[in-house]
């Protein structure tokens, strides 16, 4: 298939492009050419900015995978340009779309965050992250109808990705894993490779709708214990580190966000590898000389 990837040279996007190329698809990248410009030298590149996507005014694609859609204005502009020249549009969304952060077991039909009155569509702040994802999902559905999919994920773990990177680094260097969140905190995450495969799966098979692309719920203590099994003689977890990389409230006010129902995604073809495999591969990646990026907060 002819695939257009918006972004594609950072974090999860790298895995998406690698998976698409491995499956024999013809990939075109559209980005500003600033992040890892030497990646994928054999892939066609269109250099441009989402605020002015005229560079996408020619060409047709079987599928689009949008890894860089944040500003509502930019997503709207891109959607308008591509509306009649792609068969399917898959949008990388977030579990931050949900209005309820407490109730466990929420499906994709749970209430979503409203758009704040007077909020700008051309300016990004962390307060607008969730509402922006909701608004982008809505406008893409209005534009593409049943030719659009939205993939909602939270922590994305694996090579090139920052989430749980401090755990992988610590295990690879014989240091204590650090976690400022409470041991009983529920958490869901997904291996970047599994998420990339699911994004590609939805796009190539033109599957519509929103999906909670998350793994099973663990407590952080249980998950840490699994990660510790991949190295000999691991150090005890430090539950009171100086730096908080998880930023999860201790009062349970965000627990529901990490106990989502992923049945719809599993039914649609999401496949999840064991947590120990993710941990083992992350440690091996660090041993190969790689440094996990810092999470953006």
Return the higher-pLDDT residue of 137 and 125: 137
Residue 232's contacts (CB-CB under 8 Å, 6 or more residues apart) are none
Q: For the CA atoms of the chain, what is the radius of gyration?
A: 19
d(CA 103, CA 123): 30
26-42 residues labelled b (16+ CB within 10 A) or e (exposed): ebbbbbeeeeeeebbee
d(CA 135, CA 119): 12
149-200, pLDDT tens digit by residue? 999 999 999 999 999 999 999 999 999 999 999 999 999 999 999 999 999 9
Asked if 75 and 144 count as a contact pair (C-beta separation under 8 A), the reply is no
DSSP state for residue 89 in the 8-state scheme: E
192-228, pLDDT tens digit by residue? 999 999 999 999 999 999 999 999 999 999 999 999 9
Q: Any alpha helices (H) in 101-188, and if so which ranges?
A: 129-144, 165-172
pTM of this structure: 0.97
> What domains are there in the chain, each with its CATH number?
2-287 (3.40.50.720)
What values do phi and psi take at 92, rounded to 5?
Answer: -80, 105
Over 60: is that where the pLDDT of 297 sits? no
d(CA 259, CA 255): 7
DSSP state for residue 37 in the 8-state scheme: T
Which residue in 103, 99, 91 sits closest to 260, CA to CA? 103
74-124, pLDDT tens digit by residue? 999 999 999 999 999 999 999 999 999 999 999 999 999 999 999 999 888
Over 60: is that where the pLDDT of 287 sits? yes
d(CA 35, CA 10): 7
């Amino acid at each position: 298939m002819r695939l257009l990837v918006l972004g594609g040279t950072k974090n999860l996007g790298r895995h998406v492009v690698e998976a698409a190329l491995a499956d024999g698809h013809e990939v075109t990248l559209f980005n500003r050419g600033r992040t890892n410009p030497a990646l994928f030298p054999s892939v066609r590149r269109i250099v441009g900015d989402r605020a002015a996507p005229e560079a996408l005014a020619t060409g047709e694609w079987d599928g689009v995978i949008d890894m860089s859609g944040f500003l509502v204005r930019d997503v709207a502009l891109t959607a308008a340009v591509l509306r009649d020249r792609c068969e399917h549009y898959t949008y990388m969304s977030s579990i931050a779309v949900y209005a309820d952060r407490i109730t466990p077991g929420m499906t994709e039909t749970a209430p979503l965050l409203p758009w704040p009155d007077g909020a700008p569509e051309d300016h990004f702040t962390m307060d607008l992250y969730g509402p922006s994802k909701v608004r982008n999902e809505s406008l893409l559905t209005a534009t593409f109808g049943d030719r659009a999919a939205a993939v909602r994920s939270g922590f994305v773990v694996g090579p090139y990705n920052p989430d749980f990177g401090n755990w992988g680094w610590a295990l690879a260097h014989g240091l204590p894993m650090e976690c400022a969140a409470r041991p009983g905190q529920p958490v869901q995450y997904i291996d970047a490779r599994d998420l990339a495969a699911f994004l590609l799966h939805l796009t190539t098979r033109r599957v519509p709708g929103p999906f909670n692309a998350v793994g099973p719920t663990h407590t952080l203590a249980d998950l840490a214990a699994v990660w510790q099994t991949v190295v000999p003689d691991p150090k005890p977890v430090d539950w009171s580190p100086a730096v908080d990389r998880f930023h999860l409230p201790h009062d349970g006010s965000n627990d529901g966000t990490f106990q989502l129902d992923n049945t719809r995604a599993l039914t649609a073809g999401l496949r999840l590898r064991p947590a120990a495999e993710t941990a083992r591969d992350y440690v091996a990646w660090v041993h190969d000389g790689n440094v996990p990026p810092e999470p953006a907060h």
